[in-house]
Structure 1
Amino acid sequence: MRPEKVLRDSPWPHGHPCWVEVQVEHLGRASAFYGQLFGWTYLDHGPDYQHYLTARLDGRAVADIGPRPAGDTTAEPSAWLVCFAVDSTDEAAEQITRAGGTVLLPPLDVGTHGRFAVAADPAGATFAVWQARAYAGTQIAGVAGSVVWHHCLSTDLEASLAFYADVFGHTVSRSSGPDGEKHLLLELGGRPVAGIGEAGPEGPAEGSSHWRVRFGVADLDAALKTVLELGGTLHEGPFGTPQGRCARVADEQGTPFEVLEVGEPV
């Protein structure tokens, strides 16, 4: 189940992960870190959008990096936020509540870009929903320098599975890892769109439900060397996954993410 290169300029289907973003304390340091690691360039959206930066790979949108809100005194590191495409943010927010989730940030317009809301599933994993307008979402995926996978770790797996089925229409299948371990997949139309499993008791952010974002790299060993040289941290790995060699790391501000070896882009 190796990642496939995807180029897209239209809105993603309802229920499909369509975007990732992160809010950090030091915007310049974060953009430098990811720029050197993934080869990203940036579009600054200016003061009307708090100088949010859209990261680009080969001129195509990959992710957003923005500043933490003024007055945010949270001591914990930032986390990458997974956004799911929806046909209607308002209807999705209502369905999230009916399915046992919590709307943390009610639906709001992001200029002309789209309509956005942040929520948590019944086990507490935070995610967002995005109704695209001028801003369709990720324009490139599945290659080095882009997002290649999203997966949720839940403290109440059955509740999370029922929730994502209710809200996004996900069905569940299983795949085998390199060690024979079974992995649960969330699917749309018979195609996997994300992974899901039980949250473990160890490591950063473990013991609580959360979504993880996995980025592709051409050479995992070289990428890990770069992470460390840039002030980041190796938390776990390399280890095998159904997609290939992977490692769990953090940037120089402590934001966790994963890197997966996918080879050179084609």
Structure 2
Amino acid sequence: MAPSGKDKRIDYIEFNVSDIGRMRAFYGAAFGWTFKDYGPEYCEFSDGNLTGGFAAGGDARTGGPLVILFADDLAGAQKRVETAGGKIVKPIFDFPGGRRFHFADPDGYELAVWSDQ
């Protein structure tokens, strides 16, 4: 069997959400993600590089792995998150290698956005 090129790499991220439409609106407005529906209980998202899904009816959970997005314009990304209805959990701060902020999406998942600028 030939190697797929995907071996040992993150392939998909899935969120249990309370309202797929609300999550589509948030991530579409904040990050420009695109979506493909698979019935009323599941929606796939794409950020142009990685795909994942929103599964309706599950319990949103905080904690677990921290999903980190990249932004060329960190302050602009924070403003889009706030405008889209996200809550800033940790404002922009410096860390070795760059700067980042953490936010909670409408279901309470904590994610981060970083930049090397």
TM-score, structure 2 normalization: 0.80
Question: Displacement, 1:63?
Answer: 1.9
Specify every segment of 5 or more residues in structure 2 that has no aligned partner in the other structure, as ranges.
none
Residues 236 and 61 of structure 1, relative CA distance in 2, 3 Å threshold = closer
Q: CA RMSD in A?
A: 2.3
- Kindly indicate whether residue 25 of structure 2 is the aligned counterpart of residue 32 of structure 1: yes
Name the amino acid aligned to 2:44: T
Instruction: Tell me which residue corresponds to 2:52.
Output: 63
Q: CA deviation at 1:262?
A: 5.5
- Alignment correspondent of 2:89: 235
Listed one character per residue, the Cα deviations across residues 3-56 of structure 1 (whole Å, up to 9, x for unaligned) are xxxxxxx46213x33221111101100111001111111111225xx3x21112
Segments of 5+ residues of structure 1 without an aligned counterpart are 1-9, 80-204
Q: Percent identity, please.
A: 30
Q: Which residue of 2 aligns with 1:78?
A: 61
Q: 1:224, CA displacement in angstroms?
A: 1.0
Larger radius of gyration: 1
1:214 deviates by 0.4
SS in 2 for 1:17: coil
For CA contacts below 8 A with separation 6 or more, give which structure has more relative contact order.
2
Deviation per residue, 1:97-149 (Å, 9 max, x gap)? xxxxxxxxxxxxxxxxxxxxxxxxxxxxxxxxxxxxxxxxxxxxxxxxxxxxx
Contact kept in structure 2, 1:219 and 1:262, CA below 8 Å: no
Matches within 5 A, 1:184-223: 205=63, 210-223=64-77
What's the secondary structure of 2:11's corresponding residue?
A: strand
Query: Whole-Å Cα distance in 2 between the matches of residues 18 and 37 of structure 1?
Result: 22
Aligned length: 114
- Is the Cα–Cα contact under 8 Å of residues 38 and 217 in structure 1 kept in the other structure? no
TM-score, length-scaled by structure 1: 0.39
Q: Which residue of 1 aligns with 2:44?
A: 54
The equivalent of 2:108 in structure 1 is 254
